Amino acid sequence: MKKYLFVAFFAIALCSSTMEGQEKYIQVPVSHVTVFSHGAQLSGDAAVNLQPGTWEYVAGGLSPYIDPNSIQVRGEGDFMIMGVTHRNNYLENPAESDEISTLRDRIKALQARIEDEETATEVLLERERFLKANYDVVSQKSTISPDQLKALIDIYGTGMEDVKTAILKKTRILKDYKEEKEKLDQQLAGTIDRSRMPTGEIVMTLSGSKPVTGKLIISYVVMNAGWQPAYDIRVDDITDPAVIIYKANIWQNSGVEWKDVKISLSNAAPMTAGYLPVLNPWFIDFYQEYALNEVVIRGYGTKSRPVAREAKAEEAVMDLEASAPMPVTVTESNISFSFDINVPKTIASGGKPETVEIQRLTVPATYNYAVTPKLASSAYLMAYITEWDKYNLLPGESNIYFSNTFTGKGYINTAELTDTLPVSLGADNSITVKRDRRTDFTSQKLIGANRVETFSFLISVRNNKSKAVTVRLRDQLPLPQNSDITVEAVELSGGKHNSATGEVIWDLPVAPRETREVVFTYSVKYPKNKKIVLE
């Protein structure tokens, strides 16, 4: 009896040991994603029913681009996590993406149409050969009468015309089908085919002393994902505040669709080294200046760029009521902040950006016109947005709209430590500006060992509007880089001169239909045996 009990106990123990060594596969769907500017942290959880002993649970069907060093596993329940490893499974592949399946279906349907048209074309060609053969046989008979020959020609001509026309139509249809199929083939070839990719797996070794129901919470980072801020800046009238529409372009190419997940957009950079940079010694020495035969002075300024106007008409006008922002909660910590989108979103893999509107801000702004006649004859309407630093704005491109019309693109540079955010709303042709040289007051003289050149300009600003405006006029004096060169402001007509930058600014109130003029004169003295380049 004891012998049989021993054998039975040994068999049960062997069976338990065999079962204990097997891997148990579980699905851990992504439920929350924190997207950084570069990279994203994915997290999810799964319930486990653990029997006594040591078991390996495998979370499969994950992204193949997991950073192994970023994996975090936490358990809830009366069990211990003994170890966590990562691997890629090259045998089991996830289902093919909907995008690729749709492409394959379209290519398959086009191939069927091409085959149908090719078959129909072959039938028409056979009919053409039949008509030609019968015409040759009948027309060569010596017994055929003129009337029969005429009837034969009519029948042959009509039949051949119908066949040729039908073949031509089929040829054109075939050409269109083949061109479309070629484009779809190229698109399919350029799309990452998930059926050829491995899947990521996280293997967790769990141990418990009794049956328990618990939970595994898993998170990991993938690098091929991110988000970028983008803005729409809208001003209806210069008496109104500005509206900033804060958007996020989210993209991911992790190989796995993020389906109905909670998304947080963070400005943190967890992949950046977390240690204080070392301040190395800074060595200086004398600068060796080489003598030159000529000294060149050039004005430094930012040339205005033409306003981009390539937006489509339907993109230029947006219904603000129809595109309400997502419900978003802003969470701030000591070192970062995040926008927590409260509505689940689906972001497909493939790298195509998904645009989400996260905030709509009404901010105070002041407006005036700015002109730089030395570089451009256009007057630009400028909005100076204040209190912008309250809204967690990040550097990003902006689309600018004035009076519901797209006027161009800009860039919000929040890295600049300024109280106001300048935004150009585009050129206004109803304000004209001219910068004419006053030849009678422009001269060149020799005074002792020096040459003195004097330049004088008359700058006029014309307001063709029906209401008064304020125009900020800007010009500049050259900045000497050599002690032998002296620059003097002769006449500035009340303009404010910044000696550090050389910029001269006039703030001119201009009444309706009024023209304001200022005189801008300066001189440059330098050794007469040197040469400089000025205006």
Task: Give me the DSSP letters along 314-352.
Answer: HHH---TTTSPPPPEEEEE-SS-EEEEEEEEEEE-SSS-
pLDDT tens sequence across 185-233: 887 776 655 556 788 999 999 999 999 999 999 999 999 899 999 999 9
Q: How confident is the model at residue 276 (pLDDT cuts 50, 70, 90)?
A: low
Cα separation of 70 and 270, whole Å?
10
Task: Identify the band that residue 21 occupies on the pLDDT scale cut at 50, 70 and 90.
Answer: low
What is the pLDDT averaged over residues 345-371?
89
* Domain regions of the chain by residue span: 98-189, 225-272+295-429, 432-527
Helix, strand, coil shares, percent, the chain, to 5:
25, 40, 35
Give the residue from 316, 315, 313 showing the smallest Cα distance to 426: 316
pLDDT, tens only, 68-92: 999 999 999 999 999 999 998 887 6
Global pTM value? 0.62
Q: Say how far apart CA 519 and CA 535 lie, in whole Å.
A: 16
Where would I find the H helices in 140-235?
146-189
Q: Which of 25-39, 374-388, 404-418, 434-448 has the lowest mean pLDDT?
A: 404-418
pLDDT in tens, 366-404: 888 999 999 988 898 888 888 777 888 888 899 999 888
Span 145-173, mean pLDDT?
A: 79
Q: 462-466 long-range CB contacts below 8 Å, 24 or more apart? A: 462/431, 462/432, 462/433, 462/510, 462/514, 462/515, 463/430, 463/431, 463/510, 463/511, 463/512, 463/513, 463/514, 463/515, 464/430, 464/431, 464/432, 464/513, 465/430, 465/431, 465/512, 466/512
Q: Which residue has the higher pLDDT, 179 or 533?
A: 179
Q: What is the dihedral of CA 317, 323, 328, 332, to 10 degrees?
A: 0
Under a CB-based contact definition with an 8 Å cutoff, are residues 391 and 361 in contact? yes
pLDDT at 52 exceeding the cut of 80: yes
Q: Assess contact for 152 and 158: CB atoms under 8 A.
A: no
Q: What's the pLDDT band for 531 if we cut at 50, 70, 90?
A: confident
pLDDT of res. 204: 95
d(CA 376, CA 388): 29
Token pair for 366: 């002041």
> SS3 of 190, please?
coil
Q: What is the pLDDT of residue 124?
A: 86
Asked if 72 contacts 262 with a C-beta cutoff of 8 angstroms, the reply is no
How would you label 243-271 residue by residue, b for 16+ Cβ within 10 Å and e otherwise?
bbbbbbbbbbbbbbbbeebbbbbbeeeee
pLDDT at 278: 67
Say what percent of the chain tops pLDDT 70.
Answer: 80
Give residue 409's pLDDT. 86
CB contact at 8 A, 205 and 54 = yes
Residue type, 21: G
Residues in the chain: 535
Calculate mean pLDDT across residues 9-28: 57
d(CA 209, CA 227): 45
* Per-residue DSSP letter, 380: E
Return the minimum-mean-pLDDT range out of 131-140, 286-295, 498-507. Answer: 286-295
Q: Is the per-residue pLDDT at 265 higher than 90?
A: yes
Query: First vs last Cα of the chain: how many Å apart?
Result: 116
On the question of pLDDT at 114 being above 80, the answer is: yes
Task: Quote the pLDDT of residue 139.
Answer: 65
The pLDDT of residue 272 is 58
What is residue 162's predicted lDDT score, i.e. its pLDDT? Answer: 84
Mean pLDDT taken over the chain: 81
The CATH code of domain 432-527 reads 2.60.40
Look at residue 99 in the predicted model and tell me its pLDDT.
72
pLDDT by residue (tens digit) across 311-341? 433 443 444 444 556 678 877 776 678 899 9
Query: What percent of the chain lies above the pLDDT cut of 90?
Result: 38
Rounded (10°) angle between helices 146-189 and 98-139? 160
pLDDT tens for each residue of 243-252? 999 999 999 9
Alpha-carbon distance of 381 to 367, in angstroms, equals 7
Mean pLDDT over 158-177 rounds to 86
